[in-house]
């Protein structure tokens, strides 16, 4: 059965014009008030997919089905079915425990019975129904909870296919929810972030996005841009109206919009930490204990440890969890002058990794103090990088306070640094290091996620925000100098870029690409 897109006739947002007797600019009943109302509605992308003038309610006609639980044997498997009039399939394949059909199917009901293939009962199942306006997809839906045999699941899917359903495409349930106005595009993308979350912090951020945190912030900014654009376009189209532009108020509004966009953009670095993890690289002189620290933080002997200088020739990496942050930790070759081409390559890779890291962990042998070579190595680290100096082997000295003071003075020109005392061999100082690591990240970002609702984690969102921000910056001089046509163009472009984030202004190929990355069953 082919797919076609259906559009609702007479969308509800058009009824406003009936009450206003809107007849066009030449109508005697047309007033600037109505014009401003129309402009505001046209320029606004709305606060939800349901009321947006650019996004009518769309849905596919056919019924889809798929398994929603992973492949393999399990206690229970879940099969999803969605599509308008899909409840008619229930009448063909399901009998209640008393071997009778359901007489009047209702939403949010749970039924126990049997999936039938002709006269044969395939499995005893629980069937759950969801009405058109109360389902995830915005269509009639139902779920079948069957026994977790791979064979049973496939037999039930085959029965559904035989009775008019087809297999769902990857991400098609979420795509239908988006097209039917149940979720916006940022919420749809957050679904996969929730599924792929590997730490507590990433799960919290993804959950907030799924609940509309990014959408709400974007819509607040859009409303401000729309209000400003409406006022500007009204003056452009009706200069004969006796209205004086309030340039000072416009500039204040533009400054606030700019500030809000900058705040969202600044959240991207933090958001990337949550979504992709933090990159941290251990560097330092040879034999300072980098590999021992690497093993201690991993709690396993992954790196070879030796008293021989230059043992580590290439880098190792592993994923660890530090207080809810996913961290990709790199152990690298020691920094020293050498003529060995293999060791030279290892040193070069260590420097390259550190330059691309979010946090640099410089390991210093506390028993040898802060050498001139250490100072040279540290001075070559970008001053804007997050830096933790690890004083390793403190078990070999009586006190590290003097050395800590010396290093603190040496690093006084830097803002983003911490000093951690540690004995990796004895596994002491690990908790202090973990606390310093998190403190450095959160202080750098000015606040923890507890105080921030909207965090940008998606590269697509960040790129669109960059473009919207550039349009706002471009509009400043034109608005100030009264060049309203160009100012309106920049504001309109900014509004469209923001609309692309939530999916209200997005090309079909982009939508298809986003949902194609979802798994089947989502």
The reported pTM is: 0.61
Domains 196-273+454-516 and 277-447 in one fold: no
Q: Which CATH superfamily is domain 277-447 in?
A: P-loop containing nucleotide triphosphate hydrolases (3.40.50.300)
What pLDDT band is residue 26 in, cutting at 50, 70 and 90? Answer: very low
The pLDDT of residue 508: 63
**Helix runs in 277-387, H state only:** 290-298, 341-355, 372-379
The pLDDT of residue 310: 47
What H or E segment, with its residue span, contains residue 417?
strand 417-421
- Among residues of the chain, what percentage have pLDDT more than 90? 33
Residues in the chain: 522
CATH number of the structural domain 59-180: 3.30.1360.120
* Helix, strand and coil percent figures for the chain, each rounded to 5: 45, 20, 35
User: How would you label 424-448 residue by residue, b for 16+ Cβ within 10 Å and e otherwise?
Assistant: bbeeebbeebbebbbebbbeebeee
CA 300 – CA 467 distance, rounded (Å): 46
CA 406 – CA 401 distance, rounded (Å): 9
CA 441 – CA 326 distance, rounded (Å): 12
Nearest to 179 by CA among 13, 44, 60, 46: 60
Residue ranges per domain, the chain? 5-56, 59-180, 196-273+454-516, 277-447
CATH number of the structural domain 196-273+454-516: 1.20.120.430
Residue 4: C-alpha distances to residues 7, 58, 172 (Å): 10, 10, 14
Residue 181 has pLDDT above 80, yes or no: yes
Within 10 angstroms of residue 337's Cβ, the number of other Cβ atoms is 8
Residues ≥6 apart with Cβ < 8 Å to 269: 445
Could you read off the pLDDT of 364-422 as tens digits, one per residue? 999 898 989 889 888 888 888 899 999 999 989 888 889 999 999 999 888 889 999 99
What pLDDT band is residue 29 in, cutting at 50, 70 and 90? Answer: very low
Give the CA-trace dihedral at 388, 325, 291, 357, to 10 degrees: -60
Query: Is residue 346 packed enough to be buried (19+ CB in 10 Å), middle (13-18) or exposed (0-12)?
Result: buried
Residue 263 has pLDDT above 70, yes or no: yes
Instruction: Please report, for the chain, how many H helices and E strands are present, in that order.
Output: 17, 15
């Amino acid at each position: 059965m082919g797919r076609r897109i259906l559009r609702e006739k007479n969308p509800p947002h058009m009824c406003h014009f009936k009450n206003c007797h809107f007849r066009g600019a030449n109508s005697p009943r047309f007033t600037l008030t109505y014009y401003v109302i129309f402009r505001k509605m046209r320029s606004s992308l709305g606060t939800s997919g349901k009321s947006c003038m650019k996004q009518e309610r769309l849905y596919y006609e056919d019924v889809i089905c798929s398994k929603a639980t992973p492949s393999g044997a399990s206690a229970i498997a879940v099969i999803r079915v969605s599509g308008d009039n899909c409840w008619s399939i229930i009448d063909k394949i399901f009998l209640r425990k008393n071997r009778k059909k359901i007489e009047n199917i209702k939403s949010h009901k749970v039924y126990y019975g049997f999936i039938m293939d002709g006269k044969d009962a395939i499995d005893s199942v629980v069937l759950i129904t969801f009405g058109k306006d109360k389902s995830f997809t915005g269509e009639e839906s139902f779920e079948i909870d069957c026994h977790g045999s791979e064979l049973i699941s496939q037999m039930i899917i085959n029965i559904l296919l035989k009775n008019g359903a087809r297999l769902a495409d990857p991400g098609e349930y979420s795509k239908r929810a988006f097209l039917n106005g149940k979720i916006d595009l940022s919420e749809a993308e957050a679904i996969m972030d929730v599924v792929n979350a590997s730490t507590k912090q990433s799960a919290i951020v993804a959950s907030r996005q799924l609940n509309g945190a990014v959408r709400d912030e974007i819509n607040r900014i859009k409303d401000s841009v729309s209000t400003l654009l409406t006022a500007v376009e009204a003056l452009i189209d009706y200069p004969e109206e006796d209205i004086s532009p309030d340039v000072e108020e416009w500039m204040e509004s533009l400054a606030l919009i700019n500030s809000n966009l900058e705040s969202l953009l600044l959240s991207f670095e933090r958001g990337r930490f949550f979504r992709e993890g933090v990159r941290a690289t251990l560097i330092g002189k040879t034999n300072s204990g980098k590999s021992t620290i690497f093993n201690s933080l991993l709690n396993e002997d992954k790196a070879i440890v030796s008293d021989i200088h230059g043992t580590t020739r290439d880098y190792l990496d592993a994923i660890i969890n530090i207080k809810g942050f996913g961290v990709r930790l790199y152990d690298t070759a020691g920094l020293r002058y050498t003529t060995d081409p293999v060791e030279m390559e290892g040193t070069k890779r260590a420097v390259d990794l550190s330059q691309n890291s979010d946090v640099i962990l410089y390991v210093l042998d506390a028993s040898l103090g802060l050498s001139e070579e250490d100072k040279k190595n540290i001075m070559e680290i970008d001053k804007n990088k997050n830096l933790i100096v690890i004083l390793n082997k403190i078990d070999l000295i009586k006190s590290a306070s003097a050395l800590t003071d010396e290093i603190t003075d040496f690093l006084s020109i830097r803002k983003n640094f911490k000093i951690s005392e540690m004995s990796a061999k004895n596994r002491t100082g690990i908790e202090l290091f973990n606390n310093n690591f998190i403190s450095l990240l959160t202080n750098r970002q000015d606040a923890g996620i507890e105080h921030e609702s909207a965090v940008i984690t998606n590269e697509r969102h960040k790129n669109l925000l960059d473009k919207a921000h550039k349009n706002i910056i471009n509009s400043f001089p034109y608005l100030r100098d009264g060049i309203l046509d160009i100012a309106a163009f920049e504001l309109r472009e900014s509004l469209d870029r923001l609309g692309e984030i939530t999916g209200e202004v997005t090309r079909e190929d982009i939508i298809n690409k986003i949902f194609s990355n979802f798994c089947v069953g989502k």
